[in-house]
Structure 1
């Protein structure tokens, strides 16, 4: 019996090992959702918003390394996928979006809800096509999947509503050839890089997510070169725990030791990173960069030697050519700076910090009402979370606190919107993560602005009984925007949020809600959240005036902050 277009698609998803398809049902998708309903191993996850569906699919792809799948029905349903698909594209993870469309005969007639999907997704997708004949299947589906997987990107396949039920006249099984090549540079390029590194006396490593599968080789390089290792946020997972060379992160979420390591090295060795912030790169040193994507070489900082290839394979070929640097002064200096910074952060996160003199002095400036410090909340969650927990974080201050106070120990995983920088990603990504790993603890660091933006999908968490722990940093602010305004010398404007009691909202939706307003009750509130079975929204009112000092603060930032505070005080008096 000939298969329908919808059946070809769902059978192929099953063959690929896809177990969850995220979306919102609609008439153009009916043939596809019916095919899913009658397939044992492919499960439909009905979300309340297509943006959440795309974030969830992208989260599963990032965590598994396999294809994530979401669907949107005709017109607005597909448009709503766009932000989550941009996040997948910027995160370089394979996601297939299957979009509904108006009946084939109505294309181009400005039919009700008609949107040109091929044009809409032109910028975000490495592959986009509209099915116009049943016999284009399965070839078109194979092309979409190969493009997404081979290019670590988004593929969009649009299916008109009247084609899903049509049968193929010439059916055949889908065939996928998805093995990826592992490449390394040629020997002359390796020799050039080795010559430069062997002539150096102070090497610093900048390590990104692209080196995650080469931990042993990266640590061996750091040992040979006596090199401090600066981590990007996405390299926390895999390189933070049990690493005697790492000195934390750089950039606005970084610390002085990492900034010092970059500034004082005479050679920077970049491994699998496209760290985007040019101002944080060293100015006067030579650079060797290894990256699987040739277009990344030299994109952020001029490089002396660019090596296009897999980080692990390249290092395995490069390491035998390197000479050990006997002088560990550069490494020891950076590590000696890192340790006291870490200790200072631990003191700040101590709930009893403000009872000590230094804490009282700081509180007089930035926490006059003695509200819960977000550092203390992040540290408390870190102490309670499992060693194989999966963390997600909203863009903004929630990510700052996670980066500084949560250690990616054991087999912990971490994802967020760290390239696109979208709001509202943490909760839907946690949704996808929990379905991917039902037996692991999933913890979302949610900003109050982010959570409220896609609040409706708390009902999806309830419907599927997903035991995620949603930790809300409820400072009643768009905190990162507030900080950016103040550093520029501007008074806070437009960032205040008139929040509900998120714990009460959660309770009304059938989840467990816990609200903490007193610093003395913080540890007990976090304990109850993690001890309570099922999904929990932990709403913690945190200090809205908290300042995250960057690793290399400038005089201009400090002066701007002081001016902003004066303007805010004057404005409040006028009001």
Structure 2
């Protein structure tokens, strides 16, 4: 990689996609420091990663030598295991501990190697390292199961909130929803597991979600959390009976009060739980939520059409929010969704790129999704796409890149060229830090410091060796996306999108609306 941060993001993605340990390396001092942001992404995503980091020669440690940093202090918060190799004889044992800790604890291990130790020879008689496999998944204890059955025994309306902890329990979660006649709200990381062929799902919650998902949670009597650590307290309903199933006991109750805990593997626990439940005959709550979700999707459908702004309603709306008739980001996301193969791996930058992916891309077929959805870092889409493509060069990989995120680690576009990684980088080029602008305006502040003075990103990518194209005409959108997926080698599609597009939150408040109106008025007066 051209930047160590890219390497750490790439192996975080590889570990999440493969379930096996990812390995990255950084040289002494600054090289290891640059790994840190990507390693935090791995930590917060519970991805097993081994970072091998350089250090100054042993006699110089502690002397404030050139490029010396204290790796033990530097990586103390991000790692589940961190040690320094001081003798070649330690190598098999420390390597085993590092990998076993990363895999069993689902986190980051850091093995530091001083320069002089790296130049020594390992004895030929030293046995090779051997690594432990993960333990067997177990169901929650029987007393916890019985308490959950009692909580779900009457006719109270139930809603499920499901996350990526249910990745190995798709069939069991669908059966649970069917038995309880429960609508299923998905976390963003649960989207790739349970969105496809799911008649119970009603999309996401939170700022990137939709009103149907919010209502399904607000209207229930019992909320069942399955394999999710959804962090936003304000989006949890209050006054509900909450049942939480998670393999990690430390996750129970840290987001919302929980009356009934189920600590165990999701699939094993649901296989023990569901047969004890009585099948619901009243499906009113489920049908209401699913119908509301379908209505919301229909209302969004017009924005997916590249020709939306030529319609009567589109022309009227464009006067206010798209006077230059730029490409709407919803149409771009929908075009990629239509054209990308069903085996595509998607990555997305934190911000509006993720909002458009969440709302307009469906995880059908064997599609996968990975992003910095726990750390929330910028600039992760391209690095994660490179890591994903490195796992399988024959599988389509597309990065939903924001222009702000891409410019932060632009140099690693060349990595795709150097190693002939055929990633498709789709840039939502709106000249803005869009999510920050939206947050400012919802608070009544006029946009400030979010405008980006971008170069022609397609021209930059062409100079770096990628096949590239810049798109400014909505009529050319579908053709350009098809071209991108048919090209040979790495591709960058620079799509100039409307910076005024607003992703309305599922439960807009009066204060948000008033703040937005005030901000827009201030922006208008100041621009005049």
Q: TM bucket by the smaller chain?
A: over 0.9
Check the 8 A contact 2:398/2:424 in 1, yes or no: yes
User: 1:58 and 2:7 equivalent?
Assistant: no
| Cα distance in 1, alignment partners of residues 135 and 13 from structure 2 | 21
Separation (CA, whole Å) in 2 of partners of 1:139 and 1:526? 50
Spell out, residue by residue over 1:523-550, the C-alpha distance to the aligned partner (whole angstroms, 9 max, x if none): 1211211121111100000000000011
Aligned residue in 1 for 2:412: 457
Q: Distance in 2 between matches of 1:182 and 1:140?
A: 26
Secondary structure of residue in 2 paired with 1:489? coil
Taking the aligned partners of 1:186 and 1:83, their CA distance within structure 2 comes to: 38
Corresponding residue for residue 388 of structure 2: 433
CA distance in 2, matches of 1:515, 1:414: 25
Contact persistence 1:503–1:514 (CA under 8 A): yes
Give the match for residue 298 of structure 2.
343
Map of 1:144-543 to 2, 5 A cutoff? Answer: 144-169=98-123, 171-543=126-498
Report if the CA contact (8 A) 1:529-1:538 is conserved. Answer: yes
TM-score normalized with structure 1 length: 0.91
- Contact 2:103–2:134 (8 Å) recurs in 1: no
Match of 2:91 in 1: 137
**4+ residue stretches of structure 1 with deviation over 3 A?**
none
Provide the C-alpha distance between the structure 2 equivalents of 1:542 and 1:204, rounded to a whole number of angstroms: 36
Which deviates the most, 440-449 or 512-521? 512-521
1:562 correspondence with 2:517: yes
8 Å CA contact 2:307–2:474 kept in 1: the answer is no
RMSD between aligned residues:
0.9
State how far apart, in whole Å, the 2-side matches of 1:311 and 1:556 are: 39
Contact 1:200–1:266 (CA under 8 A) maintained in structure 2 = no
Q: Determine the C-alpha separation between the residues in 1 that align with 2:513 and 2:266.
A: 39
Residue pair 1:102, 1:161 contacting (<8 A) in 2 also: yes
The whole-number CA distance in structure 2 between the counterparts of 1:205 and 1:190 is 17
Distance between the aligned counterparts of 1:345 and 1:560, measured in 2?
24
Alpha-carbon distance in 1 for matches of 2:322, 2:388: 35
Output the CA distance in 2 between the equivalents of 1:72 and 1:230.
40
Q: 1:97 aligns with which of 51, 69, 87?
A: 51
- Give 1:133 shift: 1.7
3-state SS, counterpart of residue 301 of structure 1: coil
How many Å separate the matches in 2 of 1:161 and 1:178?
A: 31
Q: Is the 8 A contact 1:200 1:267 kept in 2?
A: no
Displacement of 1:168 after TM fit?
3.5
Deviation at 1:186, TM superposition (A): 1.5
Structure 1 pair 288/200, CA: closer, same or farther in 2 (3 Å)? farther
Aligned length: 527
- Of the structure 1 ranges 180-189 and 201-210, higher mean CA displacement relative to structure 2 is found in 180-189
- What are the Cα deviations for residues 317-354 of structure 1, in whole angstroms up to 9, with x where unaligned? 10111011110000000011011111111211112222
Are the equivalent residues in 2 in contact too, given 1:201–1:325 (CA < 8 A)? no
TM-superposed deviation, 1:570: 1.3
- CA–CA separation in structure 1 for the residues paired with 2:451 and 2:135: 48
Name the residue aligned to 2:74.
Answer: 120
**Structure 1, residues 268-326: CA drift from partner, whole Å, max 9, x if none?**
01000000001111112100000000000001000110111011010001011101111
- Which whole-Å CA distance do the structure 2 matches of 1:356 and 1:121 have between them? 55
The equivalent of 1:48 in structure 2 is 2
Residue aligned with 2:478, SS: helix
Secondary structure in structure 2 of the residue aligned to 1:162 = helix
Gaps of 5+ in 2: none
- What CA deviation, in whole Å up to 9, does each residue of 1:469-521 have, x standing for no partner? 00000000000000000001000000000001110011101111100011121
Find the residue that maps to 1:194 and give its secondary structure. Answer: helix
Q: Distance in 2 between matches of 1:185 and 1:469?
A: 43
Instruction: Measure, in 2, the Cα distance between the counterparts of 1:188 and 1:433.
Output: 42
Q: Which moved more, 1:354-363 or 1:155-164?
A: 354-363
Which secondary structure does the structure 2 equivalent of 1:290 belong to?
strand
Is there any run of 5+ residues in structure 1 with no aligned partner, and where? 1-46
Shift in Å at residue 355 of structure 1? 2.1
Residue aligned with 1:126, SS = strand
C-alpha distance after superposition, 1:110-158 (max 9, x if no partner): 1110011111000000011111122111111111111100010000000
SS at match of 2:426: strand
Equivalent position of 1:12 in the other structure: none
Query: What SS is found at the alignment partner of 1:213?
Result: coil
1:73 aligns with 2:22: no
Secondary structure at 1:552's aligned position in 2? Answer: coil
Q: Following TM superposition, by how much is the alpha carbon of 1:418 offset from its aligned partner in structure 2, in angstroms?
A: 0.1
Cα drift, residue 200 of structure 1: 4.0
Q: TM-score, normalised on structure 2?
A: 0.99
